[in-house]
Structures are given as structure tokens and as C-alpha cells.
Structure 1
Amino acid sequence: MLRYLVFWFVFRVLGRLPLPLLYGIAEIVGRLGYALAPGPRRNVWDNLRHVMPDAPKSRLRRTAKAVFRNVGYYYADLAQLPRMDLDQFFRERLIYRGIEEHIRSNVDRGRGVVMLSAHVGNAEMAGQALIPLNIPCFAVTEPVQPERLSRMLNSIRRSHGVEFMPVGVPSAKRIMRTLRDGGTVALMGDRDILGPKMLLPFFGEETWMPTGPIEVALRTGAAIVPSFSSRRGRYLIEAVAQPPIEIERTDDLQADVRTAMLEFISRLEAQLRAEPDQWMVLEPIWDAEPREPQPAKEPEEATV
């Protein structure tokens, strides 16, 4: 109940604040989160060590703090989404590339599209780029507890027309139907949550990666379009749809899934190497023992 009330206050009260004040508060919360949440902080450090294996501690520390700051900005984005002026957002806060070439071109000829993304930038805000282009989109989200919080989050996310559902049997059926009808579905491919998975190399070390999005695309004949977003400063979001992943199909579905996944992982690695601070995953991706120095040895790493 407490968690729900905290998010209710953020979305229903703080979301009404002027943007500079709202994002200023979000930055403070991100700093406090880094200082006061040792578990997520260690997880972020471990994830970043895989992405930036040769980085000195000082750079890892700066990047980890930036991750927490961007998490704060992410929730500020959601808080103001229902009251956001879409026209102003499109003019002043959104840059998008590749959508016409790689998404609309497939939709216009009746081919479904899987927009395969990751927890970078803000996928919910980037998805708003599809609205002025009249490209209907259905997105699947990670369920959170309590259930009423999950419902509130998805209600906020769908404020302007992009459909959101928590992952589960109903959403799986909706995905298949949407793709077979030539529609667009947005899915995440950087973290194993539920569904099919495969042990694959990611930044040189094997870990479990979700294969459901690739598998459903191959089963339905949908285009697989890696799509990533990035934050530019506090307010600006850049959304980029990359060329589709094309593979030579065989009669072995799992082999094809692996081939396509390795291509997606290669593109994801390039994205994360370029902008590691944009990767907002607070859980351990490699299930490794976190290797952040303990506060007693490195007290400065818990400072804000």
C-alpha cells in the first residue's frame, strides 16, 4: 500500500508542477536513490562493469550516478504525461529518425512490425512519435505489485493513444493477433523477465536473454526493427528506428531465433557502449556477485 501511495503522490500531485521544478525534484530523488539504495547501486555498478570493462572507478561512479538521475527523469516524464501538450512535445521535445523508412514502410504493405527495444532513454515517451504518423502501437510492460499500481501506470502510459498491457496470456494473444493483422508491437529485449529465453553472450559473458519477441516475429513473419531512445538533457527525447534485422531462414526455428538474437545483441551493445548512462536497469543482468567496492573501503562511492 505504501508503494502505491508514493507513486500516487508522484503521478497525481508532483505531475502537476512546472517542468523545471518537477525535473529538479526528480534529479534530487535520483541522487538520493544512488546514496541510499545499496542493492540497486551495486547492481548498476556490476552491469556497467560489463559495458565499460576498462573504465576507471571515477568514470563508473559518474555513470552510475547518471543512471539513477535518468531513472528519476523517467518517472518525471510519466508524471507529466497525462497533462502533456502533445503538439508542443512534438515540436520542442522529440526528435525521431527511421520511423518512416523502417516502420511505416512495413505497415503500409501489411507487414507486422516488432519494435524491439531496451530499457534505455524513455521508450514510453519515444513511442509518442508514432501518434502524429498515425501508426497504431501496442506495447507490453513488466507487471508490478500491487496490481492497482500496475493498472495506474498503464493508464498513464496510454494517455495519448499508445496501448499498454502487462505481460501475460492476454497480452501474448494480443501480440499474435496484432502482428498477423499487420500492426506494430513494442517489446523489450534486454532483460529476462518472463517467457522464452536463451543463454547468449552479452558483452562477452553469457547470460539469459529474452527470446519471445524474436520468436513471435519469426512465427508471424513480422519485421524486427531495433528501436532505441535516448535522453538529451532533461527534456529532449530522441527516438531512432534502425534497419530491420534480416536473417536467412532455415527449417530450425531455434537456430533462427539465436541468429536474430545475436544480431540484436550486437546492436544493443553498440547502443550501450555509446551511452551507458541511458541504461536504466537496476537489477543484475548477469546474476553475478556485485563487484562494487563496499562503502567501508570506498566511502566516497555512496556520496551524492
Structure 2
Amino acid sequence: MLSMSDNNPLNSPPLLVALLTLAQKAQPPFAHWLLKQADRLRGGIIPLSDEQRKMIANLKVVFGDNMTEKQYKATALRCFYLRSQALYDFFHFVKDKQSLRDRIHLTDGAKAMINYLKNTNSGAVAVSPHFVGADIAGMELAQHIKNAQALSIPNPSRSYKNENMIRAAYGVRVTPASTRAMQTAMQTIRDGGLVAGSTDRANPEEEYTVPFFGKPARLPTVYIRLAIRLQVPVFHFTGVMSDDYQYTLDASEPFFAESYPNRQDETVNNLQKVLVHTENAIRKHPEQWCMFHPVWQNHINTTERENS
């Protein structure tokens, strides 16, 4: 339950496995306490996992010498701890949404986004970085919108499929990226719904690179292309988890894509304007950024070797 991919990021010895297994079956606040003990064990005696090293490599592109090695490790461990807590909440409260929603706080920006979507009924695109509370933020948005769809990576693994079933139970229909999924997404928007996805999961098959923290990255362009084609706004949102197991949903003002003479400029320049929000969010909350896939492949390989 507490893994978001087929690769176990926990490097789990028997005691850690026992704590995590017990936490899955326990009720809060005891479950949260168990996960905290697992985090202490993981940080104290277990070497960094491959996923944690990749997360640190991504962070080093962002922060460079502004963090020490000790701070990078602490940030990665902190992120995995918060992630395990958020995953517990996401799975545990699937049949009791209101108890989870009572712990979600909406900023003025989030309230404005929800009001916009309710009042205009024109459809929109919403994008978010891979923050700890992204799924829970998406769940909250889905409670206010009649039709919410998320595009995911193609050919999802079994664990991703299981997570997508949970997302569907919260009202978010997940469709792996494909030509058919794009057609469905366009219809969702035309029907006044919301299509959501991530800004920061690199895809080597993307046609264009875009500057991200000053380095070229092949980040998703599908959401900008949808917004351009259908002339609908893009919102940037984040879900941040605090130490007391509360969540904050924040959102930007609506962004409308601008026209450019050629397709590449139109795609890249508009995407950059959205990525500014992602960059600001990551700088503000590095411990919330659970991106353990290389974002900048050319810059990550060397850093990973340094961390191994």
C-alpha cells in the first residue's frame, strides 16, 4: 500500500517491514506514530535507496551549493516520511472522504480556482508538481467539479493501476496517455470538466526541451497543447502536507496561452510561464517534492554517480 511504484524505495529490513505492515492496518493517530518510527529507523540505519539518490540528484540541479550533503539527505528522508503519511491517508480514508477533507485547507487561490470552474463551466486544465499531497489535492478538487480526468504515463505498472483505482474512487478518472486518451480529455474539457496532470515528470520522447531551473528538460507539453487547442485556462496547483497531518491546497490564477507564429515557440513559451509556478513551489517546499525519476538526464547521471 505504501509504495507508489514497483520499485520499493524503502530498502526494507524485517523490522521496517513489520512497522509498515502494522501501520497499514492501524487507525490514526497510532498509524501515524508507527510511520514516524519507521522513518526514524529508515533515516538511522538504512542506506539511501536508488529513488532517494535520484531525488537528491534532482534537488542538486535546483539548489546546487545552497544545501550541504547532510541537508540533501535530510530533505530526501523527510520527503519519503511525509509521502508515506500521505499515502496512508489516501488509501485509509477512501471510504471516509469527509474525515480526510476536514484536514484540507483551501487558500484564497484554491477557492478562487474552484469558484471559477463552478461559475464558468468552460472546462480547464490543471497541473501540479509531484508534491507529497498532490493526490489528496486532486481528490479535493474532484469533489467540487462534476468531471475530473487525469492523464498518466502510458503503460502503467500494476501498482500504478492499483493507485488509479483508488483515485477513481475519489472521483478522479485516470487515463494513461494515448491518442484515445487525448480525445477523451478534449471531450472532458468541452463538457466543462477538468483535465489534470503533472508538470515535472520528464519524458524522453517529448519533441521539445524547455528550460526548467535554467537547464533543458523534456517535460510534458500535452496540457499546454490542450489549452492552446481548446482555448481554456491553465491552473497550477499544489498539495502541501504539514507536520500535524494537515493539507493545504493552493492554486494560481488562471493562465491563458498566448499565440506565437510557430508551434515550437507557442508550446515552449507558454509552458515556461506555467513552470515558473512549479519552480517557485519547489524552492519554497523542497521537502514536498517527491520526484525520484531523473528530470534532467544529461545533468543527473554525473550527480547520481557522486551520490552512490
TM-score, normalised relative to structure 2:
0.81
Map 1:166-205 onto structure 2 (within 5 A). 166-193=176-203, 196-205=206-215
Secondary structure, aligned partner of 1:158: helix
- Selected match of 2:29 from 17, 20, 28: 20
Residue-by-residue CA offset, 1:188-233 (whole Å, 9 max, x unaligned): 1111248644212211222211111111111111211111111112
Shift of 1:279: 0.4
C-alpha distance in structure 2 between counterparts of 1:178 and 1:275, whole Å: 32
Partner of 2:50: 39
C-alpha distance in structure 2 between counterparts of 1:120 and 1:255, whole Å: 28
Secondary structure, aligned partner of 1:250: coil
Task: Look up the equivalent residue of 1:22 and give its one-letter code.
Answer: A
Tell me whether 1:120 sits opposite 2:131 in the alignment.
yes
Partner of 1:138: 149
- Selected match of 2:258 from 248, 262, 276: 248
Shift of 1:177: 0.9
Sort the Cα spacing of 1:13 and 1:160 in 2 relative to 1 into closer, same or farther, 3 A: farther
Tell me whether 1:75 sits opposite 2:87 in the alignment.
yes
- Selected match of 2:112 from 88, 97, 101: 101
Sort the Cα spacing of 1:251 and 1:294 in 2 relative to 1 into closer, same or farther, 3 A: closer
Q: Is the 8 A contact 2:238 2:251 kept in 1?
A: yes
C-alpha distance in structure 1 between counterparts of 2:302 and 2:49, whole Å: 11
Task: Look up the equivalent residue of 1:161 and give its one-letter code.
Answer: G
Q: Is the 8 A contact 1:120 1:229 kept in 2?
A: yes
Secondary structure, aligned partner of 1:206: strand
C-alpha distance in structure 2 between counterparts of 1:260 and 1:216, whole Å: 12
Tell me whether 1:211 sits opposite 2:224 in the alignment.
no
Q: Is the 8 A contact 1:68 1:280 kept in 2?
A: yes
Partner of 2:245: 235
Alpha-carbon RMSD across the aligned residues, in angstroms, is: 3.0
Secondary structure, aligned partner of 2:260: coil
Secondary structure, aligned partner of 1:62: helix
Task: Look up the equivalent residue of 1:23 and give its one-letter code.
Answer: H
C-alpha distance in structure 2 between counterparts of 1:273 and 1:254, whole Å: 27
Q: Is the 8 A contact 1:43 1:290 kept in 2?
A: no
Partner of 2:11: none
Secondary structure, aligned partner of 1:269: helix
Shift of 1:120: 0.8
Q: Is the 8 A contact 1:81 1:159 kept in 2?
A: no
Tell me whether 1:89 sits opposite 2:108 in the alignment.
no
Partner of 1:160: 170
Q: Is the 8 A contact 1:51 1:276 kept in 2?
A: no
Secondary structure, aligned partner of 1:63: helix
Shift of 1:16: 3.9
Sort the Cα spacing of 1:57 and 1:146 in 2 relative to 1 into closer, same or farther, 3 A: closer
Map 1:276-295 onto structure 2 (within 5 A). 276-287=286-297, 288-291=300-303, 293-294=306-307
Where do 5+ consecutive residues of structure 1 fail to align?
296-304
C-alpha distance in structure 2 between counterparts of 1:67 and 1:225, whole Å: 24
Where do 5+ consecutive residues of structure 2 fail to align?
9-17
Shift of 1:143: 5.3
Sort the Cα spacing of 1:20 and 1:248 in 2 relative to 1 into closer, same or farther, 3 A: same
Partner of 2:236: 226
Tell me whether 1:262 sits opposite 2:277 in the alignment.
no
Task: Look up the equivalent residue of 1:18 and give its one-letter code.
Answer: Q
Sort the Cα spacing of 1:144 and 1:40 in 2 relative to 1 into closer, same or farther, 3 A: farther
Q: Is the 8 A contact 1:73 1:234 kept in 2?
A: no
Secondary structure, aligned partner of 2:209: strand
C-alpha distance in structure 2 between counterparts of 1:32 and 1:69, whole Å: 11
Sort the Cα spacing of 1:273 and 1:81 in 2 relative to 1 into closer, same or farther, 3 A: same
TM-score, normalised relative to structure 1:
0.82
C-alpha distance in structure 1 between counterparts of 2:58 and 2:278, whole Å: 14
C-alpha distance in structure 2 between counterparts of 1:131 and 1:261, whole Å: 24
